[in-house]
Every structure is written in structure tokens, then in C-alpha cells.
């Protein structure tokens, strides 16, 4: 269960980081080489929302903020698990993601699905 929640959170982070031209759309990749995720994001006036799809189900993303190519989701709780942060950095159609979950940092890369 912990892995599933973590995967969802990582996907969320990755999705938020996809700002570049616009983060809106679908992103897909792997977190920590273990968790495959797909993120469907929507950016509106500097705010980011979306859904992270993982092997355990869909995880809603809310209250993301974009600053240049950096995306940040602050601390939140999902199904009783605390996520410290989700950070992303967009570089064209690629996004680097870092997720703080249960005292551990997870990194990954997402690519824009065209």
C-alpha cells in the first residue's frame, strides 16, 4: 500500500513539473526506476491540477504552483499518507520530478505524450 501511494505522489510531482510551454496534457514515466505513472495535468493562470494514474488507481492533484519551469505541490495527505512535497522542473518535453514521501526522496523523469 505504501508503494502504491508513493507512486501516485511521485506521478503527481512529475505532472506538476511539466510547465515549459504549458504543463497541460499527458505525461508518462517512471519514478525511482520502479513506479510507472501517467499524469494528466491542467495549468490555468499559474495554478496546476490533475490526476496521477498508477497501478493502484488514480490520485488527484490539487493546488500546484508554477514559477517559470519549476512546479511545486506543497505538503498534502492522500489516504492517510503524508507527502512532504512534489517538485518538478520542465525542460521541453521532459520533466524531472522529486517527491518527498515518508521521509524518503524519490526521483524520476516524465516525458510529454503527444
11-45 pLDDT per residue, tens: 555 544 433 457 889 999 999 998 899 999 999 99
Q: According to the CATH classification, is domain 2-113 in 3.40.190.10?
A: no
How large is the average pLDDT for residues 73-99?
Answer: 88
Task: Provide the mean pLDDT of the chain.
Answer: 83
Query: Strand locations in 32-75, DSSP E?
Result: 35-44, 47-54, 57-67, 70-73
- Beta partners for 99? 86, 106
Domain extent listing, the chain: 2-113
Instruction: Please tell me the distance from the alpha carbon of residue 75 to that of residue 72, in angstroms, as a whole number.
Output: 10
- Listed as own residue / partner, the contacts of 111-114 with beta carbons closer than 8 Å and 24 or more positions apart are 111/27, 111/28, 111/29, 112/18, 112/25, 112/26, 112/27, 113/25, 113/26, 113/27, 113/28, 113/38
Proportion of the chain above pLDDT 90, given as a percent: 40
Proportion of the chain above pLDDT 70, given as a percent: 82
Amino acid at each position: 500500500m505504501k508503494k502504491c501511494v508513493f507512486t501516485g505522489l511521485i506521478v503527481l510531482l512529475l505532472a506538476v513539473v511539466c510547465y515549459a510551454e504549458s504543463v497541460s496534457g499527458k505525461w508518462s514515466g517512471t519514478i525511482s526506476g520502479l513506479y510507472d505513472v501517467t499524469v494528466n495535468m491542467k495549468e490555468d493562470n499559474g495554478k496546476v491540477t490533475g490526476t496521477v494514474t498508477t497501478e493502484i488507481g488514480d490520485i488527484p492533484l490539487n493546488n500546484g504552483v508554477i514559477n517559470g519551469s519549476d512546479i511545486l505541490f506543497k505538503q498534502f495527505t492522500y489516504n492517510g499518507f503524508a507527502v512532504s512535497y512534489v517538485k518538478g522542473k520542465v525542460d521541453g518535453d521532459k520533466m524531472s520530478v522529486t517527491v518527498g514521501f515518508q521521509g524518503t526522496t524519490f526521483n524520476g523523469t516524465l516525458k510529454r505524450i503527444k
